[in-house]
Structure formats: structure tokens, C-alpha cells
Amino acid sequence: MIIFDQILPIVTEVLNDHHSVVDQLDWLLINRDLNGRIRLILPESIETDDGLRPRFEDIYRTLGERIAPHAFPAEHGILYEANKDIALQSAASRPLEGFKKVWVVDRLATEGKWAPITPETKGPPRVVFFSIKGGVGRSTALAATAWTLAEAGKRVLVFDLDLESPGLSSSLLSPDRQPAHGITDWLVEDLVNNAEMMLENMIATSGLSQDGEIFVVPAHGADPGEYISKLGRVWMPKVCDEGRREPWSARLLRLISNLEERICPDVVLIDSRAGIDEVASSCVTDLGATLLLLFALEGSQTWNGYRILFEHWQRAHVAQDIRERLKIVAALVPETERPTYLEQLREHSYGVFIDTLYDEIAPPPSDAVGPVDDGGGRTWRVDQIVEGWNFDEADEGAPHHPWPVYWHRSFAGLRSLQGRLLVIDAEEVRSIFGPLIRGVIDTLDMGAGHV
Ligand SMILES: Nc1ncnc2c1ncn2[C@@H]1O[C@H](COP(=O)(O)OP(=O)(O)OP(=O)(O)O)[C@@H](O)[C@H]1O
Ligand SMILES: [Mg+2]
């Protein structure tokens, strides 16, 4: 019996057997519906083309027999559309390997597609804090970064987008400073064009910093209200009067841009949800992040998770759009045997990046003469080293090479991070979060030299 993962390899095989026929089309969509069943969508002109139409009916029949039960009865297996973009209907699509004019269209039950990747923002830099596993100190590190940047005189805008388990705002705001509304309120009101009034009352300033300012946009307001009912609606697309459909992540991006214009921050910090989740997908791929911090605990669960994500980007041909913005953060690095722990983490991180996101460096041709060290331990003739986006395992500037955040007992099991940050000093922050914060400042070229 054929299973889901075998569908596309078989489609590729069958179409390859008919490459010359397929090449005669302007476009061809392989539509995989919500149940994982395949249809072909062809340009309308083919329906009346007595030469090509029967050829594609034959192709679908062959395909249907091979991928059953993931096919329709042959007479329902082909659809015709005037226009490719209408047929796509904003679903995720990607080119089929080996074909120039064939795209796979995946209709998903969720909006979280993890591809394509929104280009980097041209406004103030946005830094997303993401992790595959929860509870790794993401929000704490974000709060410490916000605190340090504000102490250096920066205007920092923070979004709590961990909507399903909000908490960051209470780390940065005392209860009396919580604003009336939050991101969920805005997203729900926006559906009925009622969100403008929210903007005045969804940002609060944190009293933690003396010099700069931390502006916090919480997931919900001081009174969460019917939070669960609102949460169930935040990822609704908005259908405008002209029938145009605006996906929820585009709405979120509109909110972020709007607040950036109001606040004029030097930097925007976004606390994402953990895991391969719908809201996280938006934070990582749709918000035009400048820098994506991928928090990692050493262990197979972390690396398997990142591998799944990176392979998805590779398959969707979007790896090049995102890989230069990634950086691994070694989370909660234990107090004992730090060098060994970090070495292992770096080795496993490198393994995943080299298998998925880094370009392969072609092996030296057989007539290579040398030896010349390419800096990566290989000895080739210089003119035979093929250029590519690749790094040495020990290269500190590489995305796989972690910025560590150290486990420290003063942060473990805290009752109130807000209380902790009120009494913290710069030296303490530096000793725990220093490499991460320094890395963020240098990468964004923020010139907070004395931090
Ligand atoms: N550097 C640290 N050293 C020790 N404990 C820490 C450190 N950072 C955070 N913690 C503790 O670890 C726990 C989880 O931290 P935090 O809430 O920041 O993680 P998170 O990754 O944001 O979690 P979630 O996925 O639930 O949002 C908290 O009890 C926090 O006090
Ligand atoms: Mg958190």
C-alpha cells in the first residue's frame, strides 16, 4: 500500500516518463488536497485540445493506479483553470524537482506552512526567539536582552507572540502597568475592521530600564477576558470587501509594522511559540526577521526537530532565503563540563546544517594537485575549491556555531522574573547572557559599544 511520503516520488517518476508531453504545457499543478489526494490542474486551453487532453488523461490514469488510495477516479482526476494564480488560491506551492513548469500545491488544514520566506524587513531589525522544545529559557533570554539594550539607551519594542502560553509581558511589566488589550484582541477586532481603537491601549512601557525604553506588546490585556474564544480565532484569514483573502500572518505583519511606525524602536524582539506550530511558523518565516535565534538543548529531540524543519526548507527550495539569518543559541548550558557540552552541541548542530542548509563543496577533481589547505581541513589546489555557502565546524561566525546562555541558579525556578530583573546588575547579565547579547548587538550593528 502506498503511503503519503511515496506520493511525490511516484508523481515525479510518472511525469518523467512523459517529460516531452509535460514540457508542452505553460504550467501544470500537482494539487495535493486536505486528505492527501492528488489531482492535476491544467491550463484551460488543454480541455479542448484533442491532441494533449487524452495524453494527460492517460497520464493521470497511470498515476492514479500507482498512488491509490491517494488518487481520484480517473474521470475526476483532472481540473482545468484559466489562470495558474487563481488555481493556487494562496496555497503553499513549490516546484517539482526536475521540472521547470510543474508545481506541487499543498492544501493544508492549518495556515502554518513554514515556507515561503518573507524577505527581510527594511525597517528596524526584528529578532525572533524560537526553539523546537519549550522551557529552554527563551523568554528569559529575551527579557535580559531587552533590559541590556534599554540600559544602553536603545528603544526596544517587544512582542509576546507565544499566544498559547503567554508570560513574557508579566516578566517585563508589573501588574499595574499591563495595558488594557493585547495582540489577540487586535487580531480578533481586525476581522471586523474594529482594531484601530486597540492600538492606543495595547503597548506598555516597562519600568525596568533607567536609560532607554522597553515597550511591551502583550499577548492579552490586563484582563484576558474570553481568551480561549479569542485565541481560537486569531489565525482566521480576513476576507476583504473585494473578496481578497489576507492570511493571518499578513495581518500580524500589518500590526507589527503599524506599531513600529508609532514607536520608532531601534530593535524589535519577538517571543515566538516553541515547536513546529502554526504561530511559530508565522514568527519564523512570515515576519521578515533580520535574525532568527534557534534555541537548542543538546539532545536528539532538538536536532531531530531542527532537521525536520531544515529539510522542509530544502525541499521547498527556500533554504537560501532564510539560512543566512539563522543562529543557534545553546540554551541553559550546564555549570559543569561546559566545554564538553558545548563541543557536543556544536558537533551535532554542524551535522544538521551540513546535511541540509550548507552547500555541498564539490570533491576535488581527480587531477587535483596540492597540497593546499582550504581552511576546512581539506587539501586541494586553490583553483579547484568550488565556491559555496559553507562553513568550517569551528567557525564562530557560522549559523551552527552556538552563542551560549549559561544556566545560573539565580534564574532557576524563579517566582518572578520581573522581580529578578529589578535587582539585577549588568555584570550578572553579562556572565549569563553575555555572548548572546553581544552577538545580537554585533550582528545588527547596533553600536552599543559598552555593553
Ligand atoms: N539562564 C538560566 N538559568 C537557570 N534557569 C533559567 C535560565 N533561564 C530561564 N531559566 C528558568 O527556566 C524556566 C523556563 O524559562 P523560560 O520561561 O524563559 O523558557 P521558555 O523557553 O520561554 O519557555 P516556554 O516554552 O514555556 O515559553 C523558568 O523557570 C526560568 O526561570
Ligand atoms: Mg516563553
Tens of pLDDT, residues 166-193: 888 888 888 889 999 999 999 999 998 8
Q: Which residue has the cell 551535522?
A: 351
pLDDT at position 5: 83
Confidence of residue 339 (pLDDT cuts 50, 70, 90): very high
Q: Tell me, yes or no, whether 408 lies in a domain.
A: yes
Is residue 394 assigned to a domain?
no
User: What contacts 128, CB < 8 A, 6 or more positions away?
Assistant: 270, 272, 283, 284, 287, 289, 291, 292, 293
Q: How far is the CA of 431 from the centre of ligand 2 (A)?
A: 21
What does the pLDDT read at residue 382?
46
Residue 191 sits in the same domain as residue 63: no
Q: What is the DSSP string of 403-417?
A: EEEE--TTTTT-S-H
Residue from 419, 450, 451, 447 nearest 267 by CA: 447
Cell of 153: 539607551
Listed residue (228, 238, 233) closest to 192, CA to CA = 238
pLDDT higher at 339 or 114: 339
**pLDDT greater than 60 at residue 384:** no
Please check whether residues 59 and 88 belong to one and the same domain: yes
Angstrom distance (rounded) from CA 259 to CA 350 = 37
> Is the confidence at residue 62, as pLDDT, over 70?
yes
Region 378-397: mean pLDDT is 73
What residues pair up with 93 in beta bridges, in sequence order?
105
CA–centroid distance, 141 to ligand 1, in Å, is 8
For residue range 278-320, what is the model confidence (pLDDT) as tens digits? 778 888 898 999 999 999 999 999 999 999 999 989 988 889 9
The set of protein residues with a Cβ atom below 6 angstroms from ligand 1 is: 131, 134-140, 162, 165, 274, 332, 405, 407-408, 411-414, 432
Output the nine-digit C-alpha cell for 366.
581527480
Cell of 253: 505583519
Are 99 and 172 in a shared domain?
no
Ligand 1, from 133, 140, 295: best to mutate by most atoms within 8 Å of Cβ? 140
Residues 213 and 82 in one domain: no
Q: Are residues 168 and 313 in the same domain?
A: yes
Residue 390 lies inside a defined structural domain of this protein: no
Q: What's the structural domain count of the chain? A: 2
Determine whether 381 is exposed, middle or buried from the number of CB atoms within 10 Å of its CB (0-12, 13-18, 19+): middle
- Domain of 272? 126-357+399-444
Q: Grid coordinates in use for 54?
A: 487524452
Does pLDDT of 126 surpass 90?
A: yes
Type of residue found at 422: L
Of ligand 1's listed atoms, the one at least distance from the Cα of 409 is 4
Q: Give the pLDDT confidence score for residue 416 in this predicted structure.
A: 76
Centre of ligand 1 from the C-alpha of residue 135, in Å: 5
Instruction: Tell me which ligand sits closest to the C-alpha of residue 133.
Output: 1
In a domain, 9, yes or no: yes
Residue 332 and residue 414 share a domain: yes
Residue 309 belongs to a domain = yes
Q: Evaluate if residue 352 carries a pLDDT over 90.
A: yes
E-strand spans in 1-152? 28-32, 38-43, 78-81, 92-95, 102-106, 126-131
CB atoms within 10 A of CB 158: 29
Give the cell for residue 143: 527579557
Residue bearing the CA closest to ligand 1, atom 29 = 413
361 pLDDT tier (thresholds 50, 70, 90): confident
Q: Report which bound ligand comes closest to the CA of 413.
A: 1
Q: Which atom from ligand 1 is nearest to the alpha carbon of 412?
A: 5
